Amino acid sequence: MGKISFTAPRVASFTCPADKAQAFLWDAKAPGLGLRATPRGAPAYVFQSVYEGKTLRLTIGDAGTWRLPDAQAKARELQCVIDEGRDPRIVKAEATAKDVAERSAERQSAVSVREAWSEY
């Protein structure tokens, strides 16, 4: 299927035919942005591009949760990461690891009630 301009009604009405495992609809405005529908699941925004000669497809999020402009912006962001020569999966994993490390450091530096009471 060709690319079309996504609108909220088009996104909301997109369904997967019963005889297919999944169906895709591609956005004309944001390169790589697609909508994937399955017979049993809710439609989800996906991003598809080529990284180092291989097709890369990532799920952005549920179409009912993500607003269309936000999904388009995320697709553009992911394409920029690929254009910089970086793998978006690795970038996400690094950001997650950094966040986990920061949370762990915060927990370790927090004063417990027992410590505060003994200092009091």
Distance (Å, whole) CA 69 – CA 6: 10
pLDDT tens-digit readout, 85-118: 998 888 888 878 877 777 877 777 766 667 777 7
Does residue 30 register a pLDDT over 70?
A: yes
Domain ranges of the chain: 3-86, 87-120
pLDDT, tens digit (0-9, with 9 covering 90-100), for 72-86: 999 999 999 999 999
Query: Beta strand pairing status for 44-51 and 54-62?
Result: antiparallel
Please indicate, yes or no, whether the overall pTM of this predicted structure exceeds 0.75: yes
CA distance 87 to 70: 21
Distances from the Cα of 7 to the Cα of 10, 11, 25, angstroms: 5, 6, 12
Token pair for 108: 């370790």
Tell me the CATH number of domain 3-86, given options 3.30.420.40, 3.90.1570.10, 3.30.160.390, 3.40.50.880.
3.30.160.390
